[in-house]
Amino acid sequence: MMYSRGIFHNSGCFGYGFFSSGWNWLIVLGVVVVIGAVTYLLIKRNKTKMVSSSALESLKIKFAQGEVTEEEYTIRKKILSEK
């Protein structure tokens, strides 16, 4: 079997390529973890906004129907706005 030493000699994916050392794997893993954490935090923040918005909308309906006084409405609205 003839062994050539051309341009592509021993340059496979796990030869002398990008993933040949452990540090490169750690860099890729770190990037994946950061992307995952950012995605998680964005989804969590959007869910919190949706719940707060839903609760505020429910409070507005109760106030409009007369189930809640104006004083109760302002107190509850202030509490919901802080979260």
Instruction: Give the tens place of pLDDT for each residue, 2-23.
Output: 555 545 555 555 555 555 666 7
Give dist(CA 3, CA 6) in Å, integer. 9
Residues in the chain: 83
Greater model confidence, 73 or 7:
73
> What pLDDT is stored for residue 35 in this prediction?
96
pTM value is 0.44
Segments making up each domain of the chain, as ranges: 18-82
Residue 21, amino acid: S
Query: Residue 54's pLDDT band (boundaries 50, 70, 90)?
Result: confident
> Contact 60/81 with Cβ under 8 angstroms?
no
Q: Is pLDDT larger for residue 41 or for residue 12?
A: 41
